[in-house]
Amino acid sequence: MEPQDLTDHAKVELELRTAESRFCYSTPCGGGEYEVREGHVKFPVKIDSRTCGCGVWQVSGIPCKHGLRVIYNQRLDPLDFVSHFFKGAAYKLAYAEHMHPMPDPTQWPEFNLPTINPPGIKRTAGRPPKQRKRGSMEAKKRKRHTSVKCSKCKKMGHNARTCKSDTGSSKAPPKQRVSTRKRKTGDDGASTSKAAPKWKKSKQA
């Protein structure tokens, strides 16, 4: 049988699984049974019943990568183990009869039936959640950075706000403010600046 007898979907799947089968190793166990190892996982394969422990062969009808490893090691043709539903004979049989033409929607018969609308959505009390609820088997959301580095002492495990090292807590004393205002001095060098006059409260007559 030639590959042209398969459908396009079967051809693509067979090529992808053939490339993945290179990383598998099969061991014959007798009686048409084989043990295929992929990494540290082992899968039982029965080539006569066309079954594999992964279940892909039974569901898809196309040999999985574990089954293909056994087929190639036994010098067999993988096309013989593909389900007949993916072959050209089944495709031609499905469309052997003529197809009835479909009338235009304007020509469809009318029925006095009520229009079925989608069910109404009732808003629950409270603020709607911003994040979706994760499943019981779904991994929890982690922080982007698991390790924190202090910008003062350059150590891991804390930040600059919680730093307790001497280098991080030592600060330079504040500088005293120097006045730039000039004072007038007399001939003897004494200051002649006067204090601001105090306003006297006017006495009522």
* pLDDT tens, position by position, 122-139: 888 898 888 888 887 777
pLDDT in tens, 42-66: 999 999 899 999 999 999 999 999 9
Domains in the chain: boundaries = 3-93
Higher pLDDT, 3 or 44: 44
pLDDT above 90 (res 187): no
For residues 90 and 96, give the distance between their C-alpha atoms in angstroms, rounded to a whole number: 10
For residues 32 and 74, give the distance between their C-alpha atoms in angstroms, rounded to a whole number: 11
> Is the pTM for the entire model greater than 0.75?
no
Find the DSSP H helices in the chain: 8-20, 56-60, 65-73, 88-94, 166-169
Q: What is the pLDDT of residue 46?
A: 93
pLDDT above 90 (res 154): no
Polymer length in residues for the chain: 205
Q: What is the pLDDT of residue 9?
A: 82
Angstrom distances, CA of residue 81 to CA of 35, 36, 64, 171: 18, 17, 10, 79
What DSSP letter does each residue of 83-118 carry, written as one string? Answer: -GGGBHHHHHHHT-SPPPPPPPGGGSPP------PP
The listed range with the strongest mean pLDDT (74-78, 131-135, 149-153, 167-171) is 74-78
Q: What is the pLDDT of residue 198?
A: 56
Average pLDDT of the chain to the nearest whole number: 80
For residues 64 and 23, give the distance between their C-alpha atoms in angstroms, rounded to a whole number: 13
For residues 84 and 90, give the distance between their C-alpha atoms in angstroms, rounded to a whole number: 7
3-state secondary structure at position 79: helix
In which band, very low, low, confident or very high, does the pLDDT at 205 lie, cut at 50, 70 and 90? very low
Give the residue-averaged pLDDT of 76-89.
88
Angstrom distances, CA of residue 74 to CA of 48, 68, 92, 152, 158: 13, 10, 31, 67, 61
